[in-house]
Amino acid sequence: MAEFSAWDRDEARRIVGGLVHLEGATLPILHALQEEFGYIDAEAIPLISEALNLSRAEVHGTISFYHDFRAEPPPRRVVKLCRAEACQALGCEDLVAHLAQAGGIAVDHASPDSPVAVETVYCLGNCALGPSALVDGELIGRVDAARLLTLCETQPGSRGQR
C-alpha cells in the first residue's frame, strides 16, 4: 500500500528546486510532489508559480486540467478500475453495480473518510485480459467481483486485513 509523507513546505520547495531546470518542468514537478505527498497541496501553487515564473492561475489551471492530480490527500487505497470499451465487453459495469450493492462502494464517489476509493480509468493497456484494475501500481487482469471486493479491503475490522 502506498505510504505518503505528510505535507511539508520545505521538502516541497526542495522537490521543486530539483526539477526547475527541466524544459516544461510543470508536469514533472506535479508528479514528483504527488509521488511524495499523495496530492498537491494548495501551498504548492505559489512555490511552483515563483519557481517557474508563471501566474498562480496558470499553475492552478494546469493542475485542475489533468485527472491524475489530487487536491486532497488520497484514501489509504485507490483502486483504478478500467471502464473503457474492451473491459465493458467483459462486464466491468456489472462490477461497478456489484461494488455498490455488495460493498456499499460508489465508484468515483468515495466518502471523505473512507479508507478506499474506486476510481474510473479508461484503458490500462490490458484489453485482452480484462476486466482490469490498477492498485498501488500493480496491474490486475481478469478481475471478478470477489477479487475486486478483496482489493477494496484495507482496514482490520471492516472486512479483515489482506
Partner 1 sequence: MSQVVPSIRVFVPIDAAALSVGAEAVAQAILREAAERGIEIELVRNGSRGLLWLEPMVEVETSEGRVAYGPVTAAAVAGLFDAGFTSGDAHALRLGPVAELDWMKRQQRLTFERVGVTDPLSLADYRAHGGLAGLQAALALQPAEIVETVRASGLRGRGGAGFPTGIKWKTVQDARAEQKYIVCNADEGDSGTFADRMLIEGDPFLLIEGMAIAAVAVGATRGYIYLRSEYPHAYRALCRAILKAEHAGLLGDSVLGSGHAFHLEARLGAGAYICGEETSLLESLEGKRAIVRAKPPLPALQGLFGKPTIVNNVLSFAAVPWILAHGAQAYADFGMGRSRGTLPVQLGGNIRRGGLIELAFGISLREIIEGFGGGTLSGRPIRAVQVGGPLGAYLTEQQLDTPMDYEALAAMRAMLGHGGIVVFDDTVDMAKQARFAFAFCAKESCGKCTPCRIGATRGVEVMDRIIAGQERPKNIAVLRDLSRLMTDASLCAMGGLTPMPVLSALNHFSEDFDRPPLPMAAE
- Nearer CB in complex with ligand FES: 123/145: 123
Q: With binding defined as CB under 8 A, does residue 52 bind partner 1?
A: yes
- Nearer CB in complex with ligand FES: 82/135: 82
Q: Indicate if the alpha-carbon torsion angle 133, 138, 144, 149 is positive or negative.
A: negative
- Binding residue (CB under 8 A) for partner 1 from 7, 16, 26, 116: 26
How many of the chain's residues bind ligand FES (CB under 6 A)?
12
Residue 128 interaction partner, one of ligand FES, partner 1, none, beta carbon < 5-8 Å per kind: partner 1
CB environment 96-123: b (16+ within 10 A), e (fewer): bebbeeebebebeebeeebebbbbebee
Task: For residue 140, list its beta bridge partners.
Answer: 133
In single-letter form, the type of residue at position 33 comes to: L
- Binding residue (CB under 8 A) for partner 1 from 8, 20, 27, 159: 27
- Nearer CB in complex with partner 1: 23/113: 23
Task: For residue 77, list its beta bridge partners.
Answer: 116
- Nearer CB in complex with partner 1: 10/138: 138
Q: With binding defined as CB under 8 A, does residue 90 bind partner 1?
A: yes
Q: Mention every residue, 6+ apart, whose C-beta is less than 8 A from residue 63.
A: 30, 40, 45, 69, 71
d(CA 122, CA 116) in angstroms, rounded, equals: 19
In single-letter form, the type of residue at position 98 comes to: H
Q: With binding defined as CB under 6 A, does residue 84 bind ligand FES?
A: yes
- Binding residue (CB under 6 A) for ligand FES from 32, 106, 123, 145: 123
Which residues contact ligand FES by CB under 6 A?
A: 82, 84-87, 123-127, 130, 132
